[in-house]
Amino acid sequence: DADVTQTPRNRITKTGKRIMLECSQTKGHDRMYWYRQDPGLGLRLIYYSFDVKDINKGEISDGYSVSRQAQAKFSLSLESAIPNQTALYFCATSGGQGADYGYTFGSGTRLTVV
Amino acid sequence: KNEVEQSPQNLTAQEGEFITINCSYSVGISALHWLQQHPGGGIVSLFMLSSGKKKHGRLIATINIQEKHSSLHITASHPRDSAVYICAGSQKLVFGQGTRLTINP
C-alpha cells in the first residue's frame, strides 16, 4: 500500500455538485496538506493542517473546505464545484526529524468539472 | 513575485550531458526541497537542504544560504531522468514553477 493514498484517482463531476476528495496516510506524520496543480501555474497550497486540531487556509482556499478526521485522514471538499476547479489535486504529508524531515505525496486526483 | 524562482523553465539535452537546474528563493525560507514529477504525475521528494550539499546517486543538490540560491545537478544524464523538477521552500512548500527536463537518447 502507498504511504499516502488519495481517492478517487479520477473524477468527473457537474457544476454545482458537492464533491469530497479523500486522503489517508500511513507515515505517522502530523502535518498534512492539499495542493492543486494547474498547467503553467505549478502547485499551489489550498489548506494545511499541522495536527488534528489545527486547520489553516493556504494561498487559494476560496471554494474549498477541509476536515481532519484523524491524524491519518485529511479530506478536501468542494462545496459547489465550478469548472475552474478542474485541476490535478495532491495530498501530501511531512514529518521526520532534522535531516530526515521530508514530504510524501499522494498519486493525485484528477478532477474535471463540467 | 513568487518567493521561489526556477530556471530554466524547459531544458532539453542529450544523454550523458551534465545538467544544472537553478533555484533562487526569498528571505524567510530556511530550507529548500527538490522534488521530481514524472510524466504520470506522481511527485517524489529528492532532497531537503538547509546548508551545503547532498548527493544521491547521480543527483547532487547544493545550496548557498548567503546568496539564497540552490542548484540541482544531474551527472551522466539518461532518458529516464526526463521529468519536471521542482524546488520548494518553507514549511508549507512554496513551489517554483518547475523545470521540464527532456533527455534525448
> How does the average pLDDT of chain B come out, rounded?
91
Give the pLDDT confidence score for residue A97 in this predicted structure.
Answer: 76
Q: Residue A108: which of B41, B95, B98 has the nearest Cβ?
A: B41
Res B89 pLDDT > 90: no
Are A32 and A23 spatial neighbours (Cβ–Cβ below 8 Å)? yes
Give the pLDDT confidence score for residue B86 in this predicted structure.
Answer: 95
Choosing among B92, B99, B100, which should be mutated to test the A contact, i.e. which has the most A CBs within 10 A? B92
Q: Which of A52, A61, A63, A60 is nearest to A25 (CA)?
A: A52
Residues of A within 8 A of B89 (CB-CB) are: none
Write out the three cell numbers for A10: 479520477
- Average the pLDDT over A33-49 and give the result: 90
> How does the average pLDDT of chain A come out, rounded?
93
Give the pLDDT confidence score for residue B19 in this predicted structure.
Answer: 98
CA angle (B54, B55, B59) in 5-degree steps: 120
B95–A105: do the CB atoms touch at under 8 Å? no
A105–B33: do the CB atoms touch at under 8 Å? no
Q: Which of B55, B56, B105, B102 is nearest to B83 (CA)?
A: B102
Res B2 pLDDT > 80: no
State the smallest CA–CA distance between residue B12 and chain A in angstroms.
18
Res A1 pLDDT > 70: no
Q: pLDDT (tens digit, 9 = 90+) per residue, A82-96? A: 999 999 999 999 988
Chain B touched by A108 (CB under 8 Å)? yes
Res B1 pLDDT > 60: no
Give the pLDDT confidence score for residue A35 in this predicted structure.
Answer: 96
What is the C-alpha separation between B21 and B74, in angstroms, rounded? 9
Write out the three cell numbers for A23: 486522503
- B38-to-A29, A39, B52 alpha-carbon distances in Å: 24, 14, 26
What is the C-alpha separation between B84 and B100, in angstroms, rounded? 4
Give the pLDDT confidence score for residue A2 in this predicted structure.
Answer: 73
Q: pLDDT (tens digit, 9 = 90+) per residue, B45-87? A: 999 988 899 999 999 999 998 899 999 999 999 999 999 999 9
State the smallest CA–CA distance between residue B3 and chain A in angstroms.
12
Q: pLDDT (tens digit, 9 = 90+) per residue, A59-80? A: 899 999 999 999 999 999 999 9
A90–B43: do the CB atoms touch at under 8 Å? yes
Give the pLDDT confidence score for residue A95 in this predicted structure.
Answer: 86
Q: Which of A59, A113, A61, A46 is nearest to A83 (CA)?
A: A113
| Strand ranges in A29-113 using DSSP code E only, listed in sequence order | 31-38, 42-51, 54-57, 64-70, 73-78, 87-95, 102-105, 109-113
B45–A105: do the CB atoms touch at under 8 Å? yes
Res A100 pLDDT > 80: no
State the smallest CA–CA distance between residue A102 and chain B in angstroms.
7
